Structures are given as structure tokens and as C-alpha cells.
Structure 1
Amino acid sequence: MTNLKIGGVPEHFNYPWYITLKNKEYSKHNINLRWQDYPGGTGQMCKALRDGSVDIAIVLTEGIIKDIADGNPSKIVQTFVQTPLIWGIHVGAKSKFKTIDDLENATIAISRFGSGSHLMAIVNAYNQGWDIAKLKFKVIKDLQGGIDALTNGEADYFMWEHFTTKPLVDNGTFRRIDNCPTPWPCFVIAVRNEVLENNFEEVKKVLEIINAETKDFKKLNNIDKTLAKRYEQQLEDIQKWLQITEWNDGNPITKNLIGRIQNKMVQFNVLEEKKNSGDFIKNMYI
């Protein structure tokens, strides 16, 4: 039995993994795949890939590209969700800020540096024409940290996935001022280089299993009701999310796509320079 550790955020995007694990799909192929939740998001998972506490991670595209550029010994093996992620821009319920323009000099809550909440705050600032060098950040670790920081005034606004935070908007914890979609496919699957060298065939089998599950995921009986109940969402919100979300169809990630994303990240001052796109990816289907 090959032991592999996999991690991702405890959000609706990753429910297909839960199904395949519950059905023991991997153990049928002599793979003991163990799931670990990472509520701290992509920055937390990049650290886990670096220190070997996770082997495979479902991470935000921008976060892992930046971390591989900075030396993370991992490769992207495919996209997981190929549609953009919709980031909600939130303030506390009692905040004085009303519009996106009000936030130009405000303090931003981020889970950690290099995380999606950090990098997308830079993308948003670039979109608004703000001076990125003047952005102020407060590290809050995770969603609960964001709630605390906005409630007690330690930070002014916080960017997190629109539908995950929708219940907090509905119950009056947050006010959503605007949305900011990622200008690229949102989630990719990254694997440590050492694991790719030693367990290439097992990783390939894991990808085949999850791709087969996501292919017809939206057609599963009552999947909208299941997700709404599990993730404490309104049914209409989950239905809307399902409509705009497409998983990967098993196609390999291309150097061209990585190049285009790098170009944008350099433009946004997230990356200092563009690197060889082949250094970021491993084609599993040669």
C-alpha cells in the first residue's frame, strides 16, 4: 500500500475528493490516500508542501506559481477547477467604508503572505489603479481570523471566496462591497517533486480517479441539496455556484497557460520576473 497525504481547503470545491475517499476508490488501487483540511488556505499548504507534511495539495493557481517561483520543490500536475474564483471584498458590518474607492488606504486582512487573500488583494488594487507599494496588510491566519479582525477593527477589509463567506454576509457579520474574479483558472493540483519521482504512477491514478468523479459531479442526484446542507449554504447560492463552476476534464496544464498567468502576475507586481514555464509543471500524460 502506497501512503499519500493530500490537503485542501474545507470548502465545497473539494467535495468530489470526499466522495472518492468515502467510496475507498484509492484503496482499490493499493493507495492509502489521507485527506487533511487546511483552513489557512494556499499559503498554509505551500508551507506544508515545502516541509513534506503533505504530498499533494489543491491550491490556488496564483499562490503556488508564486511559491514555486520562490523555490517550492513541487510541480503543478493539472488544473482542478478551470473557471475563475469569485473573491468577495468584505468589510465588517459596522464599517464606515461603503464603496470600493473608500478602501484605497485601508488595512487588508490576509491569511498569510503568499496566500490567495494576499495576492488577490494586490490584483484588486491593480484593477483599481491604486499604488500597490502602499498597501497595508494584517496577517490573520484563516477565515475566523478575518471575522475577528474586521469585527474588532484590527483590519478594514478581507477578501475570501464569495460563496464561502455568503452566510457571513447574510447573518450580518460582513458587508460585501464588491467582487473580484481571478483572471485565470482558480485551483490546481500540486505535487512534491520527490513524490512525483518515487510515486508517479500512483499520482497518475489519483488524478484519473478524481477526474472521473468531477466529470459528472454536477449531475449527481440532489448534489445541490447535499452541498447546501454540508457547507451551511442557501440552496439558491449553491445552485448559482454550480452553474458557474467547471472542473478539469483531465487535460494537462500547458506551458502557454502558465506563461500567460506569469505575464499577468508580473504586471500586477506579484512576481518580480517571468521564469521558464516548464519549471512549474509536470505532464502526467506523456
Structure 2
Amino acid sequence: MTDQPLRIGFVPEHFSAPLHFARDHYGLHADLVPFPSGTGHMITALRSNEIDVAVGLTEGWIAGLGKEGVEGDGGYRLVGTYVDTPLCWAISTGASRPEISSVASLQNSKIGVSRIGSGSYVMGFVLADQQSWLLSPTSSSSAAPPFSDTVVLNDFKTLRDGVNSGKADFFMWETFTSKKYHDSGEIRRVGEIYTPWSSWKIVASTRLVGGKGKPDPRVRDMFAKIDRGVERFERDPEGALRWITDNLDYSEADARAWLDTVKFTKGVEGVKTEVVQGCVDILRKAGVLVEGKGMQPADMIASDSS
């Protein structure tokens, strides 16, 4: 078992550069498995034993474990912190949707999401909370939905098509990934929203880190190799820029602007309970999670990672 490469899920965006550096330059023994549809899809893949580890959005991981009625042990635990800075989500609509003129005009509209439980889904509730669109939850239920419909569109391309066809009215996606399509006029930017927490976490299947035994040694090796990938990224930002523009769909100007906004974690192993608690508190306020139900924050973290 332990001589097999880790199957690591990731979103094929600019944030993945240190992960590739870890594999390509520092011997990370892993198969990197892209999930362009995002964190919600990786949760499903972890639970069905398609991948062992994944790097994705904090809110998606926590919502996936904190919801009432999660089967079994939840399938994964938080084990590491990948990015310290918050994520900026662009709020986008179709190119020819003049009735959508501002964030305020999105109340009671149709939100497009990649999957239920994904970051794009969770951030809809955070946006609604910030805009005071949520009705207060009762003691036995979540807050009333702030949108007229939640349309599952699976990936970024289908989300863009969806707001242009009218299937959805708006969606949210990482701002620099969206920018090319704003610049081309395919979709139109309405606004932006930042996560109220550090944006990316590393999770591992409970097959590797669950129970009272020691975690799979490949996980500890992975942390050391990703740390070296992060070091390379920070030591040679021009090299990181070249890798992003050569391998991903970003212009040099957009990649350079993103470099000024991101701070990767030095020493990725471990997750602070207070960070998870803060995210849970906001998700409860936004109606995504319900007080007294679902997994508690400390239980979402692998026992050797807090």
C-alpha cells in the first residue's frame, strides 16, 4: 500500500503551481488528478476511493463535513493549510443581461453553482448573509434560501454558458480565472466577494488518517515535498509566472497581478481549530450549517494535525 503513489486531487488553476513543483522537482510520489469542477466533486471522489488526498477550498471541505446526516465517518479530514490569504470570488452574469446591474439586483435570482456543497454554492449563502438577504433560521431548520433557484452546472465552462443562456442569472468563481472571460466580453463582472477565512486547505481520506493508528507515512512525506514546492514558488516568482502562463490559461499580466495577492503557507502540515471554528460560525450564520447538528470543528481535523 505505502509504495503506491498518492492520488492527489486538485483544481487546475494557478494555485496548483507549488503542488506541481513538489512532484516535478522534489520527488513527491503522487498522481495529480485534476478536478476542474472543484471542491464538491473532490469530496465525492474522496468518499468513493477515487483519490486519497485533495487540495481545495476551505468552505467546501468544512461544509461537507459539517452538514447534518453525513454518512459514516465523513470520508476525509482536514490535515493541512495550503494558502493563508483569502480567496476573491468574482460575481459574474451573462454578457447580455442588462436587468442585472449590481449585486443588489441578484436577490431572489437564480444562482449557478458547480455542485451542491462546493465553494461556489457555499459562497452564495455568505454573499446573501453579507447583503442581509437571509431570513433568520428557526431552532430546527436552516435559513430560508436567498435565491429563487440553485442551478447545478458542474464546471466553469457550463457556468459561463448558463448565465448567457438564462439557465442561471449569476455565478461566482475565482477572480483571476474569471478575468479572461470578462475581458473578452463572454461574461460580465457584477462585483466581488472575499472569503472571511484562509482560502485553501489540504484534506486526506480517513483511510489514510482515520482511527487511532499513525497516519499513512506518505501523507507526512507529502507535507515535506509541498513545503519545498512552496519554497521554490516564493524563491523564484518569475519561474512560477512562466510555469503558470505556459501550462494554464492565464495571461502574463493576470498571472503577475495574482502573484501580488497570494501568500502560500510556510509549513503546510496542520490546521488550527480556531480557523475551522471561525468558518463554521460564519457558515451557521449564513444558514449553510445548523447549530448543534453535524460534525463539530475539532472533529473535522485529523488528530495529529491540530
Does TM-score exceed 0.5, indicating one fold?
A: yes
1:133 aligns with 2:149: no
Q: Where does 1:110-129 land on structure 2 (aligned, <5 Å)?
A: 110-129=113-132
Distance of aligned partners of 1:285 and 1:110 in 2 relative to their CA distance in 1, 3 Å threshold: closer
1:222 partner SS:
helix
After superposition, give the CA deviation of every residue in 1:26-62 in whole Å (9 maximum; x if it has no partner).
2xxxxx4111100110110000111111100112111
1:279 aligns with 2:282: no
Pick from 264, 272, 279 the counterpart of residue 254 of structure 1: 272
Say whether the 8 Å CA contact 1:60–1:186 is kept in structure 2.
yes
Which moved further from structure 2: 129-138 or 178-187?
129-138
Pick from 46, 69, 93 the counterpart of residue 95 of structure 2: 93
After superposition, give the CA deviation of every residue in 1:4-35 in whole Å (9 maximum; x if it has no partner).
21101110101111222223612xxxxx4111
| Match in the other structure for 2:50 | 53
- What is the CA-CA distance between 1:125 and the residue it aligns to? 1.1
1:80 aligns with 2:96: no
1:263 aligns with 2:281: yes
Higher helix proportion, which one?
1
Q: Where does 1:1-286 land on structure 2 (aligned, <5 Å)?
A: 1-23=3-25, 25-26=27-28, 32-70=29-67, 71=70, 72-96=74-98, 97-131=100-134, 132-135=144-147, 136-197=149-210, 199-220=215-236, 221-250=238-267, 252-273=270-291, 275-282=295-302, 284=304
AA partner of residue 13 (structure 1)? F
- What is the CA-CA distance between 1:277 and the residue it aligns to? 2.2
Q: What stretches of structure 1 move > 4 A for 4+ residues in a row?
A: 283-286
2:77 partner SS:
strand
| CA–CA separation in structure 2 for the residues paired with 1:146 and 1:277 | 31
- What is the CA-CA distance between 1:208 and the residue it aligns to? 1.1
Say whether the 8 Å CA contact 1:215–1:247 is kept in structure 2.
no
Pairwise CA RMSD of aligned residues?
1.8
2:111 partner SS:
strand
1:130 partner SS:
coil
2:192 partner SS:
strand
Structure 1 unmatched ranges of 5 or more? 27-31
Which gives a bigger RCO, structure 1 or 2 (Cα 8 Å, sep 6+)? Answer: 2
After superposition, give the CA deviation of every residue in 1:142-194 in whole Å (9 maximum; x if it has no partner).
00110111121111101000001111111111111111010001110000111
- What is the CA-CA distance between 1:229 and the residue it aligns to? 3.6
Distance of aligned partners of 1:50 and 1:236 in 2 relative to their CA distance in 1, 3 Å threshold: same
| CA–CA separation in structure 2 for the residues paired with 1:226 and 1:22 | 12
Which moved further from structure 2: 70-79 or 37-46?
70-79
| CA–CA separation in structure 2 for the residues paired with 1:109 and 1:137 | 6
After superposition, give the CA deviation of every residue in 1:65-99 in whole Å (9 maximum; x if it has no partner).
11122432211011111110100000111112111
Say whether the 8 Å CA contact 1:83–1:185 is kept in structure 2.
yes
AA partner of residue 281 (structure 1)? I
Distance of aligned partners of 1:254 and 1:7 in 2 relative to their CA distance in 1, 3 Å threshold: same
Q: TM-score, normalised by structure 2?
A: 0.87
1:246 partner SS:
coil
Distance of aligned partners of 1:219 and 1:24 in 2 relative to their CA distance in 1, 3 Å threshold: closer
Say whether the 8 Å CA contact 1:76–1:188 is kept in structure 2.
yes
1:215 partner SS:
helix
After superposition, give the CA deviation of every residue in 1:212-248 in whole Å (9 maximum; x if it has no partner).
2113413314322332343232322212211111111
| Match in the other structure for 2:138 | none
- What is the CA-CA distance between 1:202 and the residue it aligns to? 1.4
Say whether the 8 Å CA contact 2:17–2:240 is kept in structure 1.
no
2:201 partner SS:
strand
Number of equivalences: 281
2:5 partner SS:
strand
1:6 partner SS:
strand
Say whether the 8 Å CA contact 1:218–1:242 is kept in structure 2.
no
